């Protein structure tokens, strides 16, 4: 018994006429008759009643038809799933990301895959740069989206977008224009990400303070951008973050774009070089996403 025999049996069971069935599946009628007889011999039961002018399914044939339809359907589904996995449109894709990437990039990525690859399961892990690199190294995730990450040997990356940093201050009723010169805030308190978590991100922030000529008086550290922003809104200190970080928040804060400094936040897509061939179909899809959404990702 093979899949072709099952498919041909289903055609005969549908039209209940050997001549019409043979024409439909483009096979000689004698050959089709032999296939059905061989199938009946292997099954050990008559599947068609040929005693009348028009053939009909026997009781055994009706039961066999239900199972044959299920087998063919499962085979077609298996082919479809395999093809989609081969094309990077099914399976499981594991992504690690910084908390700042969740404000714009990650929801946009999820919408893109839901629209273009609905059979692909996307699992997300939010963490700091250090932990995401560890997960990439051990194969626990496939890709990472990280800000200003330093790319070491064994990894590859592309830039998703670049943006200005923002000076974020507690909101006030004072309508005076705040200065972009960070030296004017050298005596203020600051709320920052932990220096040990960065692998590139906090090094960039530190260069901003070094250029301004002071070390920040850090009163609280948090790896989560939402926590940092809420603490700023409560008046506990200032912060520096990328521009897209502010999307979706309605807090009592004031944001000043630092377009007067050379440092930029650069969001990167990162993967392990040794897995590039294995992940190529998914990488192509993510690159297509970046290209299609580049205007949206840089519009904040």
User: Tens digit of pLDDT for each residue in 238-274?
Assistant: 999 999 888 878 889 999 999 999 999 999 999 999 9
Residues 6+ apart with CB under 8 A from 164: 242, 243, 257, 258, 259, 264, 265
User: Tens digit of pLDDT for each residue in 66-120?
Assistant: 989 888 888 877 777 777 667 666 688 999 999 889 888 999 999 999 998 888 8
Q: Do domains 3-86 and 88-300 have the same CATH topology?
A: no
User: Tens digit of pLDDT for each residue in 178-192?
Assistant: 889 999 999 999 999
- In this predicted structure, the answer to whether residue 139 has a pLDDT above a threshold of 90 is yes
Does the domain spanning 88-300 belong to CATH 3.30.830.10?
A: no
Fold of 3-86: Arc Repressor Mutant, subunit A (1.10.10)
Percentage of the chain lying above the pLDDT 70 cut? 95
Domain residue ranges in the chain = 3-86, 88-300
Mean pLDDT of 9-27: 88
Q: What is the pLDDT of residue 172?
A: 80
SS3 letters for 141-184? CCEEEEECCCCCCCEEEEEEEEECEEEEEECCCCCCCCCCCHHH
* Residue 70 burial by Cβ neighbours in a 10 Å radius (0-12, 13-18, 19+): exposed
Rounded to 5 degrees, what angle do the CA atoms 167, 173, 177 make? 45
User: How far apart, in Å, are the Cα atoms of 115 and each of 89, 111, 142?
Assistant: 11, 6, 21
Give the Cα separation of 218 and 212 in Å (integer). 16
């Amino acid at each position: 018994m093979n899949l072709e025999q099952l498919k041909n049996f289903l055609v005969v069971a549908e039209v209940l006429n050997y001549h019409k069935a043979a024409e439909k599946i483009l096979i000689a009628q004698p050959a089709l008759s032999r296939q059905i007889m061989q199938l009946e011999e292997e099954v050990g039961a008559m599947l068609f009643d040929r005693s009348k002018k028009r053939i009909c399914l026997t009781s055994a044939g009706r039961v066999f038809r239900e199972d044959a339809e299920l087998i063919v359907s499962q085979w077609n589904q298996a082919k479809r799933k395999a093809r989609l996995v081969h094309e990077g449109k099914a399976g499981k894709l594991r992504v690690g990301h910084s908390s700042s990437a969740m404000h714009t990039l990650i929801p946009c990525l999820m919408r893109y895959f839901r629209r273009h690859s609905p059979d692909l399961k996307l699992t997300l892990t939010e963490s700091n740069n250090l932990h995401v690199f560890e997960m990439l190294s051990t194969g626990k995730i496939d890709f990472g989206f990280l800000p200003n990450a330093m790319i070491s040997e064994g990894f590859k990356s592309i830039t998703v977008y670049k943006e200005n940093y923002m000076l974020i201050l507690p909101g006030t009723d004072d309508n005076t224009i705040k200065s972009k010169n960070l030296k004017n805030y050298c005596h203020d308190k600051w709320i920052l990400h932990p220096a040990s978590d960065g692998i590139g991100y906090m090094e960039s922030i530190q260069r901003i303070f070094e250029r301004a000529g002071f070390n920040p008086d850090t009163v609280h550290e948090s790896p989560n951008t939402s926590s940092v922003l809420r603490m700023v809104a409560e008046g506990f200190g200032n912060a520096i973050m990328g521009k897209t970080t502010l999307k979706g928040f309605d807090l009592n804060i004031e944001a000043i774009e630092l377009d007067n400094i050379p440092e930029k936040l650069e969001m990167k897509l990162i993967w392990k070089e040794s897995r590039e061939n294995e992940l190529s179909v998914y990488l192509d899809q993510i690159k297509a996403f970046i290209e299609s959404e580049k205007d949206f990702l840089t519009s904040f």
